Each structure stands twice: as C-alpha cells, then as structure tokens.
C-alpha cells in the first residue's frame, strides 16, 4: 500500500477500502454482547466478552472488552462521529487515555477504520477492521503499518473474535 505524507496531510488510497461512511451502518450490526478469543501475534489466546452499545442517533459506538483481556481492568473504545471523521477515545484504566482520529470505510459487508497515531511508541498508520464471517460472527483485527519501517504491509497487533452470546430466557 502506498501512503504519502505531506506535512500534516496524509494521503491514503481509498479504492482498496471501499466507500467512506459514518458510524450509522456499523452500529446496528455490532451492537450487543459478544464472546470469543483475543490474541496478539506473540501471546496466548484469551477468552473475552465484548459489549457494544450505540447511542440513539447511532453516531456514538462504545465497545468494552472484558477485564483481563490485556490488563487487569476492562478496556473501552469510544468512537464518535465528528463531522466527516471518527474520533476515538481508548482507555485501559492504567495508561493515559489515547485520542485518535479515523476515517471509516465499508466494503463488501466489512468495515475498516484508518488513522495515524502511535503503536508501541512507534509512529504508525492504524487499521481497525471488522470483517464479517458466517452467521453474524466478526473478526476485529487491530493492525499497524509502522512509518519507521521500510515494509509495505500491516502487522497484526491483536485480533478479537466476536461471536454473539445467545440469550436464554428463564421461565
């Protein structure tokens, strides 16, 4: 992938990521309670639960990944529509909150958030992708293209499987 940085302007090819959209199409698809495994390339897989809530206007998406996924606290991802972009506030309850700006794209039923920031104290292009699998299952991949590296590919930082938790009615 070719990425050109011109001062504070970052040019990303959009054709490979589909149409630019806002949060409204993704909110109803991800809202609910999920379970699955979370893993990074160097670590063990851990079972997690993930809760996703949307605001009534579907311009705010709040994701909470259960306690113990990476830290002793649960982590939260708050995405909100800010004009043409998506703002993110990420909190793990230990480190300073991270604030980032993304652009959201949709292609073939999958969604990709692209933005510039830091991963492991390295400048990076960040990609958060939600890829649809069979029967309402999703794979949430968090990956980075490190700007201080000559590689032209993204490195997966972590992936989380999202399988709906079925609600059993108690009679």
- Asked whether the beta carbons of 85 and 100 are under 8 A apart, the reply is no
40: three-class secondary structure by DSSP: coil
CATH architecture type of domain 17-164: Beta Barrel (2.40)
15 or 163, which is more confident: 163
pLDDT above 50: residue 12: no
Over range 61-75, report the average pLDDT.
79
pLDDT given for residue 3 in this prediction: 37
What is the CA 142 to chain-centroid distance, rounded? 6
**Position of tokens 């609600």?**
167
Task: Please list, in sequence order, all residues whose beta carbon lies within 8 angstroms of the beta carbon of residue 102, skipping any fewer than 6 positions away.
Answer: 79, 85, 86, 87, 88, 113, 114, 115, 126, 128
Report the C-alpha gap between 131 and 26 in whole angstroms: 11
User: What confidence tens digit (pLDDT) does each residue in 70-91 have?
Assistant: 666 789 999 999 999 999 999 9
Domain spans, the chain = 17-164
- For residue 157, with 0-12 CB atoms within 10 Å meaning exposed, 13-18 middle and 19 or more buried, which class applies? middle
Report the C-alpha gap between 101 and 79 in whole angstroms: 9
């Amino acid at each position: 992938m070719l990425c050109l940085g011109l001062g504070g302007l970052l040019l990303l090819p959009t054709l490979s990521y589909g149409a630019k959209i806002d949060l409204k199409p993704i909110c109803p698809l991800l809202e609910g309670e999920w379970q699955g495994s979370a893993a990074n390339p160097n670590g063990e897989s851990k079972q997690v639960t993930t809760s996703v809530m949307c605001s009534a206007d579907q311009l705010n998406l709040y994701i909470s990944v259960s306690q113990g996924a990476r830290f002793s606290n649960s982590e939260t991802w708050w995405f909100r529509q800010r004009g043409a972009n998506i703002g993110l506030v990420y909190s793990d309850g230990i480190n300073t909150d991270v604030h980032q700006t993304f652009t959201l794209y949709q292609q073939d039923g999958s969604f990709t958030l692209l933005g510039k920031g830091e991963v492991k104290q390295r400048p990076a292009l960040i990609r958060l992708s939600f890829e649809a699998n069979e029967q309402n299952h999703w794979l949430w991949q968090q990956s980075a293209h490190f700007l201080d590296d000559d590689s032209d590919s993204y490195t997966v930082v972590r992936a989380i499987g999202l399988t709906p938790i079925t609600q059993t009615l108690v009679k």
